[in-house]
Amino acid sequence: MSEDDGSWQSLHRDTLKVTAIVVAGVAVGAGVPTAVGIGSATSDGVALAWVLPGMLLLVAGAVLLDYLRWRHTRYRVTDHLMELRKGVVMTTRRSLARERIRTVDLSANPVLRVFGLVKVNIGTGDGRSGGGSSPTEQTIVLDPVGRAAGERLRADLLDRARRADDPDGSTLATWDPFWIRYAPLSFWTFALAAFAVGAMFQVLDWFGRGGLPVEVVMDIAEDIGAWSTLGLALGVFVTAGVVGTLAVYVEGWWNYRLEREPGGTLRVRRGLLTTRSVSLEEQRIRGVQIVEPLGVRSAGAARVDVVTTGLKNDPTSDLSTLLPAAPRPLAARITAQVAGVDAEPSLRPHPRSARVRRLRWAVVADIVLVAIVVLLAAATPLPGFWVAVFSIVAALTCAGAVAAAVDAYRALGHRLDAHYLVARQGSVRRATVFLQRQGIIGWRISQSVFQRRAGLITVTATTAAGARRYSIIDADEHEILDVAAEAVPDLLDPFLIRD
């Protein structure tokens, strides 16, 4: 362990201050309610005498642990390796071959930023299973180092491929504050509002007043009438959701910047309080995906995700987002610049029977919905007001389902060009994927009993990148096999018969 020849470096020692502040924050957050609780039962003096030493002990303990961690963590970068040594009792040593390092991501929460520090995540992106933290995944986390040191590491570790003929870096897109208007158009608006309502009930419940909101709403309803109350409640609900999504969006995407760096790396930088920097090696990119959720699409905007190996397959993560919801022409330009494809290709539509299928689903859903409402109205003593509300909601949903079915069919399409397989689908979440043909590493073709009767088939290309599979759904059962056979030469052909 005493092989210190000066090449080993330690983490930044300000980590102790950061830990102290973070733990102190937690201690205050937990200590104040406790003190209030004890204080109300005994006296303020007794409460302080118990809680203050406890808080101090917590902070001191955390700082001590962090000191030991800091003391025993060393890293170094040699010509071929990135090495990390850590552990107080059990010493572990991890080394990554430098040429296998694919990602170097920097992030800094507000406390780290105050001290000019960053957390560095170095990975080989070898997540074989793609399902989270597989043992084969090799990562080194440096938490924290100085900002300058972090930037230098990033440049050193990713710049190895730099050649003389490489063009200099360029900025592909920067943040436009007007993009904020697309943020509330996502479904998160409803999710966050629902979360806020849930949290309100929970907090009131802690104080034993869980029924309070209901009483308040009933009082208002008596004053201004049921319909006005419903409108008011909807207004408050939507406002809460809009405020929530705006806050999340601004925190995540403030100062967004997409750059192409020398050495063939794309870099996304963003964040208001916590800053993030994600680097993607272009050599590992297997395609792009243009995602247009319903609300964003109706505002003429689109998001661009990258399909790359080396990122975990986590649908909730936004690390793969190259461009947040932005005007469509810009999304098209970014798509073209990153993948070299036409972002508005003319796609081959799918058979009409795919449309019949979608309409059939919509009609079945409508029938079920109507049956439920009729049953509710007939068999339960539901007040007339609620019957009216449910009927309106049901009527809107029924119409919406049919419209979505027609729209979903219109979205279906595919195309094969020199380098990419293009597939589009979805109404509520329309996604157009441009998948590199050489990134396809297998096929999964499936056909349900209903699809067979309609002459349709779903062809899924499997890949090591992005979501690991991209499907062309409900395509013509004969034509799409030719497309798949052509997309990857010699793979599917031996298993096909043509007559």
Partner 1 sequence: MTEGRTRLRPPRHWLDRRARAWWRAQLAVSGAVPALPLVVLGVLIEPARTWLLVPAAVVLAATVLAVVALPPWWYRLHRWEVTDRAVYARGGVLWQTWRVAPMSRIQTVDTTRGPLQRAFGLSTVTVTTASSAGAVKIEGLDHERAADLSEELTRITHETPGDAT
Using rule CB under 8 A, residue 488 touches partner 1: yes
Using rule CB under 8 A, residue 131 touches partner 1: yes
Using rule CB under 8 A, residue 496 touches partner 1: yes
Smallest gap from Cβ 449 to partner 1, in A, equals 5
Using rule CB under 8 A, residue 492 touches partner 1: yes
DSSP states of 32-93 as a string? Answer: HHHHHHHHHHS-HHHHHHHHHHHHHHHHHHHHHHHHHHHHT-EEEE-SSEEEEEE-SSS-EE
> Of residues 449-478, which lie at the interface with partner 1 (CB under 8 A)?
449, 452, 460, 462-465, 468-469, 477-478
Q: How far apart are CA 277 and CA 290, in angstroms?
A: 21
Q: Across 147-300, where does the E strand assignment appear?
A: 170-174, 257-261, 265-270, 275-281, 285-293
Q: Is 438 helix (H, G, I), strand (E, B) or coil?
A: helix
Residues 6 or more apart whose CB falls under 8 angstroms from that of 145 comprise: 11, 12, 117, 118, 120, 153
In the chain, the amino acid numbered 203 is V
Smallest gap from Cβ 436 to partner 1, in A, equals 11
Using rule CB under 8 A, residue 209 touches partner 1: no
Using rule CB under 8 A, residue 317 touches partner 1: no
Number of residues that bind partner 1 (CB under 8 A): 42
Show the site string, 263-302: x = touches partner 1 by CB under 8 A, - = not.
Answer: ----------------------------------------
Using rule CB under 8 A, residue 138 touches partner 1: no
Identify the helix (H) or strand (E) that includes residue 300.
Answer: none
Smallest gap from Cβ 439 to partner 1, in A, equals 8
β partners of residue 97: 81
β partners of residue 414: 348, 423
Show the site string, 358-397: x = touches partner 1 by CB under 8 A, - = not.
Answer: ----------------------------------------
Residue from 412, 423, 483, 487 touching partner 1 (CB under 8 A): that is: 483
Give me the count of residues in the chain.
Answer: 499
Query: Are 94 and 138 within 8 A, CB to CB?
Result: yes
Query: Are 185 and 293 within 8 A, CB to CB?
Result: yes
Using rule CB under 8 A, residue 442 touches partner 1: yes
Nearer to partner 1, 21 or 416 (CB): 416
Nearer to partner 1, 186 or 460 (CB): 460
Structure tokens at 383: 């007040």
Using rule CB under 8 A, residue 420 touches partner 1: no
Nearer to partner 1, 189 or 460 (CB): 460
Smallest gap from Cβ 313 to partner 1, in A, equals 7
Nearer to partner 1, 288 or 326 (CB): 288
Q: How far apart are CA 217 and CA 207, in angstroms?
A: 19
Classify residue 348 by its DSSP letter.
B
Smallest gap from Cβ 381 to partner 1, in A, equals 31
Nearer to partner 1, 140 or 459 (CB): 459
**Which residue has 């924050």 as its token pair?**
25
Nearer to partner 1, 159 or 482 (CB): 482
Give the binding range for partner 1 (CB under 8 A) out of 35-43, 122-130, 251-259, 417-425: 122-130
Q: Is 151 helix (H, G, I), strand (E, B) or coil?
A: helix
First to last CA, the chain: 71
Smallest gap from Cβ 496 to partner 1, in A, equals 6
Nearer to partner 1, 243 or 441 (CB): 441
Per DSSP, helices labelled H in 299-379 are 328-339, 352-379
Using rule CB under 8 A, residue 158 touches partner 1: no
Q: How far apart are CA 210 and CA 402, in angstroms?
A: 39
Q: How far apart are CA 260 and CA 338, in angstroms?
A: 9
Nearer to partner 1, 305 or 477 (CB): 477
Smallest gap from Cβ 315 to partner 1, in A, equals 13
In the chain, the amino acid numbered 211 is G
Q: What are phi and psi for residue 445, nearest 5 degrees?
A: -115, 130
Residues that bind partner 1 (CB under 8 A): 128-131, 309, 313, 439, 441-449, 452, 460, 462-465, 468-469, 477-479, 481-483, 485-486, 488, 490-492, 494-499
